[in-house]
Structure 1
């Protein structure tokens, strides 16, 4: 029979596709091709970066701060896309270990009793819904607002206006012509298609990278829930040797949880710090656009909403992991260890409780704890 719990690539197909196309998926045999792909991606952003930088320089000379913040709102996340590609390539060994660990766990879950499978099934369902489908929709709506609104306005103006006003996905000046000449062919068509391709790059990267963080956190929480259930089952055993063997497995799984958390911390540590700084800057830029620039622009309102969700998701996942890890001590204490006459088992339960009381935190730059308190602080600011 076909196994119920499949490897990472078959379980999270949307995320895997976005990671592969976005040069994020780590397989040793594709390192060279990924390095070339990242180089091509860096080269592809040079035109928009050069045009935006030149326009910002001219805006600075004429004291046009609104135009500078408008360019920063789009160019900033674009550099974030490249940074995440490079980060995953540098940490490709750790990322590959995380994926192989998930594959091994899924294979093991196929051999577990039905109550364990039910827990794994529910956790995977939640992870796929929130980290894969819902996050993909959020990213798609936020990014596609710009090209879709520009395309819709262009079509409407061309059909119903005698002298239609054209719109670019992201308005930039043509450095080799007058200001209004940027709407002439072929510059307008080339820039529109080019900006749309950059929007697709946004979606691929943000859907693959950020969703991978969320589903990995959910996987660790699932491992915690299963080891707690294994601890409860161990306490129900009458045979002291069987009970001891099950407790050994619980402790091994507990150690595996901490190892995976260390991998997560090592992989996403710098990225979490960068998005914390970038999120605050992005919210300020978008708010400035709304208040001082173009009024109530729906595009920037959607972008503000997406930026808030972008910082909320890692804070929520990190807080979930912190609470799940701390709950192990309570679950161990309530597992019925006092009814066991086996001294070895009692000592092992005490060891589990003591180890679980050490806080498990996901930090940015190894300094700032990511949790809901951080999200509230950012929201207030």
Structure 2
């Protein structure tokens, strides 16, 4: 996922090949969706819709990594430069940096485990059901990784060799692509937002000690100018993140509503009971998938709002210069304006939106159950 300029050409070719390799699975799912619609098979129609939305989202993210490669590269180059500067900060600042890195790594590991379990549940469950049926059932049958109709093959033929094995291998490959994309691209957003929170905490710490060991007005004014510069850099960084990931954020919003409602509907259906268990994991993973950006962005908003309290507690009243006191008032006023992440200027991500998504998803679930 990392836009390395030295391998930019190879990377674009590889991403193009991945898109082409996933497209047949999307076509098969769309064809199956069409057949389910003609048969008025609502349960399987919803099941295929879940896969179609997932694969479409994967293709969109792959395309974003190509079309936004320059912006993403600039974003991560800036983060790398910041971490080089952090190496020369005092010990208290170093602790903030180490804590942020630890949290970022922990979150990546948790999300990696969740996606590993969710993605592997499809082939693992299909394999277990097939083995159990072969060993203990009077009428043994094979289970596909994802049940769907296949072009030019009858229902009986797709379970025969070598078609069944080819479809199984291809399905596992598609699952692997989905796993890589949902961990790699989404991880880039987490790293970026964690970095915003870190920069806010660092200039808040600068603000806390702004009047310490500073008896002359010029030194204090230089520190205020440095704070304003750092604050502007954070605003610019937030703008860059929104530009790189705004389409992805909209996709998460739509994906969470549709996928959660459909997964809950699939769990409670009486069709395909043997494989419906995977949708428990799917629903949980989808909810966590939208919860994480909402939580991380809310953390940025909280840290930015805390700047006002830090500024008010920074012993500014001990300074006699009126202009400096006015600057502190402006800093407090500016900090009281909430920092928000907007996708395409319409969708604001925060914990309130997360609750709203869950409510809408449940409404969709009740609608599908009728």
Is TM-score (shorter-chain normalized) higher than 0.5?
Answer: yes
Could you tell me which of 198, 204, 211 is aligned with 2:180? 204
- Alignment of 1:138 with 2:111, yes or no, is no
Distance 1:173 1:245 in 2: 69
- The structural deviation recorded for 1:159 is 4.3
CA contact (8 A) 2:26 2:56 kept: no
**Which digits, 9 at most, give the CA deviation of each residue in 1:31-76, with x for residues without a partner?**
3222212221121123222222222222222111222211111121
1:160 to partner: Cα distance: 4.5
Q: 1:1-381, aligned counterparts within 5 Å? A: 19=1, 25-130=2-107, 132-161=108-137, 163-240=139-216, 241-292=218-269, 293-295=271-273, 297-381=276-360
- Superposition deviation, residue 355 in structure 1: 2.5
CA distance in 2, matches of 1:135, 1:174: 33
Where does residue 11 of structure 1 map in the other structure? Answer: none
Q: Which runs of 5+ in 2 are unaligned?
A: 361-370
Normalising by structure 2, we get a TM-score of 0.91
- Post-superposition Cα deviations, 1:264-316, rounded to whole Å, max 9, x if no partner, equal 11112222112211211111221221223345822011101111111111111
- TM-superposed CA distance for 1:177, in Å, is 3.0
Partners of 2:65 and 2:314 in 1: CA distance: 40
CA deviation profile, 1:124-162 (whole Å, cap 9, x unmatched): 1111111x1111111111111111111222333344456
- TM-aligned CA deviation for residue 163 of structure 1: 4.8
Tell me the distance in 1 between the aligned counterparts of 2:136 and 2:40.
36
Aligned length: 357
What residue ranges of structure 1 are gaps of 5+ in the alignment?
A: 1-18, 20-24
Give the Cα–Cα distance (whole angstroms) in 2 for the partners of residues 331 and 295 of structure 1.
56
Cα distance between partner residues in 1 of 2:285 and 2:65: 23
Moved over 4 A (4+): 159-163
Task: Give the CA deviation at 1:211.
Answer: 1.7
Q: Which shifted more, 31-40 or 179-188?
A: 31-40
Aligned-pair CA distance for 1:238: 2.7
- CA distance in 2 between counterparts of 1:66 and 1:124 reads 44
TM-score w.r.t. the length of structure 1 is 0.89
